[in-house]
Structure 1
């Protein structure tokens, strides 16, 4: 059997395929598996505590893992070691950064591809290789336009007392904003970026509120100006795609901000890249060999 995974910091979607006809055996969701922010024992725990993965672990012979934090050798090696130890029959393990999955979920041709999920990223795919002009340095330094960025802006507005009273009331109702607990989640918990991204949902639930829309617009504009515009020349020649839940929910604002800058509208907004990727795998049995 073939196991294919799409992991961000918040969640990891796994799809198990029958290698005889590439039909879907089962779909599984676990917590995110990001080697840049999780230790080996934490990742091992996520896998070992998933009953469905354990049920099939002796049937899995190939694993294709696309994830945040896998754009370096250290992260790749960490994931491979864990898989080798937990799936005894596996003979093929491919670990690639999440951008690779996004590219092939969007198109098999030259394109500019943006990821807006818990984290953010952007690249130009020339039809063969990925080119990144901004080094992804994680949620503390970067991640403009991401769920993490949106959440950070919500909390900043709340603690600077800039949040309008009606939004403040809703936020306090939806989240337990005990100061000490918030500080603990931000500075002592394993994945503060995942914690911050929870607050992005609040913004999209209140997107009709001018203040909430302004925060989303600010974060989207930061992403466009600091990342996407690095590919301005390519945008005149190839299609643009946005991948991820934040991009999908912010699609109308993204279109507005691109239009203000005289940039073309995206070809498509893909909420779940793994679904589009699996469709390509099912249609072409040699597809995985082309990707990795």
Structure 2
């Protein structure tokens, strides 16, 4: 049996493929090694994987994770997971490679992630060949759920929110400006805290124009600071995974067109396509 996983900063989607190619889907939280320790990863997996999962029969784990962009970070996750999947060969890859393989298969092109965080790349059909650093949630991550959430929270702190949106925000979360600052600056996993408010932006009907503008300017920043810096970017179609890309697709399509790119594959989660990729690779 093999396990294939797409790990974001917030959650991880897993698929167990049995020896007769049956698929069983599982979910745990996300394990970005920049934010969680090896001990945390190991303990969380032991607590959150199903009790009836026959871990001893799993022979291979292919985990693609947010933050797994360097040898050190991949080793961090590999050591933690090896303590759980003791009989398996544990392979760790970057979530950006998962995105590229999911939306492009074995064809070269441009691929991106717009979820809790942001990432982009050029892909040669096998590996990522160029990547502009996203800057992560403090320095960059334009267009991501975290970025949208930060823009919303900034408007809240500065009093820029329309009154009807501010009223709805308070009724939904009961957060004071002091509460927001405490969550962002003194507590762990501030990226997840900020990203959760992209759902509020999506659900908000009090002032749709405000929400739409918040999302559009976030995507415009994403293109301006990342996408347009790839050589000959307009010669590629725009392919992307992630809940933010999927949920705000209508706005994203508009910004893609305004930047002279053709829209390609936009999918919420890469897990099914990753399973297909790995099974085909075995045939």
TM-score, reference length from structure 1: 0.91
Distance in 1 separating the partners of 2:220 and 2:192:
22
Please point out which of 57, 67, 70 is paired with 1:69: 67
Distance in 1 separating the partners of 2:112 and 2:76:
26
- The runs of 4+ residues in structure 1 deviating greater than 4 Å are none
1:38–1:190: 8 Å Cα contact kept in structure 2?
no
Indicate the residue corresponding to 1:10 in structure 2. 10
Distance in 1 separating the partners of 2:248 and 2:57:
40
Indicate the residue corresponding to 1:278 in structure 2. 275
Distance in 2 separating the partners of 1:182 and 1:53:
37
1:5–1:13: 8 Å Cα contact kept in structure 2?
yes
Distance in 1 separating the partners of 2:278 and 2:83:
26
For residues 239-285 of structure 1, the C-alpha deviation after alignment (integer angstroms, 9 at most, x for no partner) is 32011010111211112122223x12311211111122223445x25
Shifted more, 107-116 versus 204-213: the winner is: 204-213
Indicate the residue corresponding to 1:209 in structure 2. 208
Distance in 1 separating the partners of 2:282 and 2:28:
28
Shifted more, 224-233 versus 214-223: the winner is: 224-233
1:124–1:131: 8 Å Cα contact kept in structure 2?
yes
Q: Secondary structure at the match of 1:44?
A: helix
Q: CA RMSD in A?
A: 1.8
For 1:234-273, list aligned pairs within 5 A.
234-236=233-235, 238-261=236-259, 263-273=260-270
For residues 160-197 of structure 1, the C-alpha deviation after alignment (integer angstroms, 9 at most, x for no partner) is 10100111111111112134432232122221101100
How has the CA–CA distance of structure 1 residues 246 and 136 changed in structure 2, closer, same or farther, with 3 Å as cutoff?
same
TM-score, reference length from structure 2: 0.93
Cα displacement (A) at 1:6 = 0.8
1:242–1:266: 8 Å Cα contact kept in structure 2?
no
Distance in 2 separating the partners of 1:97 and 1:259:
28
2:3–2:14: 8 Å Cα contact kept in structure 1?
yes
For residues 75-114 of structure 1, the C-alpha deviation after alignment (integer angstroms, 9 at most, x for no partner) is 1111111122122211x21100001110111012011001
Cα displacement (A) at 1:54 = 6.8
Distance in 1 separating the partners of 2:199 and 2:69:
27
For residues 207-245 of structure 1, the C-alpha deviation after alignment (integer angstroms, 9 at most, x for no partner) is 761111111011000001111112251431x33201101
2:42–2:83: 8 Å Cα contact kept in structure 1?
no
- Structure 2: 5+ residue runs without aligned partners? none
Distance in 1 separating the partners of 2:237 and 2:193:
33
Distance in 1 separating the partners of 2:134 and 2:43:
27
- Structure 1: 5+ residue runs without aligned partners? 288-292
Please point out which of 118, 121, 133 is paired with 1:120: 118
